[in-house]
Amino acid sequence: MSGPASGDQNFARVIILGSGPAGLSAAIYAARAGLNPIVIQGMQPGGQLTITTEVENYPGFREAIQGPWLMEQMQAQAEHVGTRMVWDTIVDVDLSRRPFRLIADGGVTYTCDALIIATGAQARWLGAEGEAALSGKGVSACATCDGFFYRGREVCVIGGGNTAVEEALYLTNHSPSVTLIHRRDTLRAEKMLQDRLLAHPGIHVLWNKAVARFVGGGPGGALSGVALIDTVNGRISHHPTQGAFVAIGHKPATALFAGKMPLDEDQYLQVRPGTSLTAIPGVFAAGDVADKVYRQAVTAAGMGCMAALDAERFLQMNGGS
């Protein structure tokens, strides 16, 4: 081991922040490269997949698998090849020189020669009544993940940005009727996407409508519709639907890095295109924290692999601190 903190339990050549598919894939590759990584799990060990149920689009499994189970397997694999998992909450970082320093809320300081940031992102929710209770029972924040479960049924998407429009278009692969519900009378999405959406015969747009409440009472207590409020005249209406996809944006977990490294206008970490390299040599980013376009477990895992390979190369070229 290299560096002044050699022998220190809280030093690792590579520390990975975050334990979703990006972080654990990075750990598997870093461990197999002999870098003895530490993964610091955050507030939601396992990441977003631990709050989903069935996963049908992660390659390698013919039948649907459970999201939490997939993450347990990834963690077990990472540990098996030599990753040390620690549970701690990092509240401050010093990336101005190597070794990088990560300070936890209990006062422990972790140091590393290379850092992989894989802290993920959270979907933004509306906070409307019934939303949390019906999550997984008709309410979802990911059409690519869950749309298939609603095939043949009428579904709606809430939002007016690129994500909402892309999700509405995607859902037409499965659903005979897709309704886009937007709180204004103009979309924020790119013109090309708007044109595709508005020309699609399977998509209907409800303008100037906000969701006041998600209504249960469907089969097995599932979603049966949404109560809408007209944002212009305040009138309440009911829109029957069996699937509601909330697509009002995501929040990347980058508060720790604000002012310390460049973030884009949506607060995502910026990487050099086609790599995991951030603006700071030795600091790499992978998964949803740096990706607002694909946001899939499999793409996050791929980016985690890239970050570990980039970190390994960096350490070969630059040695320890």
In the complex, minimum distance from the CB of residue 279 to ligand NDP, in angstroms, rounded to a whole number? 19
Q: Can 145 be counted among the known catalytic residues? A: yes
Does position 175 bind ligand NDP by CB under 6 A? Answer: no
Which CB atom, from 68 or from 161, has the smaller least distance to ligand NDP? 161
Which residue type is seen at 21?
A: P
What is the distance, to the nearest Å, from the Cα of residue 238 to the centroid of all Cα atoms in its chain?
31
Near ligand NDP by CB under 6 A, which window of 44-52, 54-62, 78-86, 154-162? Answer: 154-162
In the complex, minimum distance from the CB of residue 219 to ligand NDP, in angstroms, rounded to a whole number? 27
In the complex, minimum distance from the CB of residue 239 to ligand NDP, in angstroms, rounded to a whole number? 14
In the complex, minimum distance from the CB of residue 309 to ligand NDP, in angstroms, rounded to a whole number? 25
Taking alpha carbons only, the member of 312, 244, 267, 12 closest to residue 120 is 267
**Candidate list 48, 163, 276, 278; residue touching ligand NDP; CB under 6 A:** 163
**Candidate list 249, 275, 280, 309; residue touching ligand NDP; CB under 6 A:** 249
Q: Can 112 be counted among the known catalytic residues? A: no
Q: Which of 88, 112, 113, 145 is catalytic?
A: 145
What is the DSSP annotation of 155-191? EEEE--SHHHHHHHHHHTTT-S-EEEE-SSSS--S-H
Residues 6+ positions from 201 with CB-CB distance below 8 Å: none
Chain positions 265 to 294 lying near ligand NDP, rule: CB under 6 A, are: 266, 292-293
**Candidate list 39, 93, 145, 248; residue touching ligand NDP; CB under 6 A:** 248
- Does the N-terminal peptide bond of residue 99 adopt cis geometry, omega within 30 degrees of 0? yes
Chain positions 210 to 229 lying near ligand NDP, rule: CB under 6 A, are: 210
The answer to whether the CB of 103 falls within 8 A of the CB of 112 is no
**Candidate list 45, 82, 161, 218; residue touching ligand NDP; CB under 6 A:** 161
Q: Which of 146, 288, 291, 310 is catalytic?
A: 146
Near ligand NDP by CB under 6 A, which window of 68-76, 103-111, 180-188, 299-307? Answer: 180-188
Q: Can 305 be counted among the known catalytic residues? A: no
End-to-end Cα, the chain, rounded Å? 10
Chain positions 77 to 96 lying near ligand NDP, rule: CB under 6 A, are: none
Tokens of residue 284, six digits: 């790499």
**145-148: which pairs have CB atoms within 8 A and are 24 or more residues apart?**
145/52, 145/55, 145/57, 145/296, 146/52, 146/243, 146/245, 147/171, 147/173, 147/174, 147/175, 147/243, 147/245, 148/56, 148/174
What is the distance, to the nearest Å, from the Cα of residue 81 to the centroid of all Cα atoms in its chain?
25
**Candidate list 88, 131, 166, 312; residue touching ligand NDP; CB under 6 A:** 166
Chain positions 289 to 318 lying near ligand NDP, rule: CB under 6 A, are: 292-293
Tokens of residue 171, six digits: 């859902």
CA gap 39, 30 in Å, rounded:
11
What are the φ/ψ torsions at residue 219 (nearest 5 degrees)? -55, 130
Near ligand NDP by CB under 6 A, which window of 64-72, 107-115, 158-166, 216-224? Answer: 158-166
Which CB atom, from 31 or from 297, has the smaller least distance to ligand NDP? 297
In the complex, minimum distance from the CB of residue 33 to ligand NDP, in angstroms, rounded to a whole number? 32
Q: Which helix (H) or strand (E) holds 103?
A: strand 100-104
In the complex, minimum distance from the CB of residue 104 to ligand NDP, in angstroms, rounded to a whole number? 31
Contacting positions for ligand NDP (CB under 6 A): 126, 159-164, 166, 183-184, 188, 210, 248-250, 266, 292-293
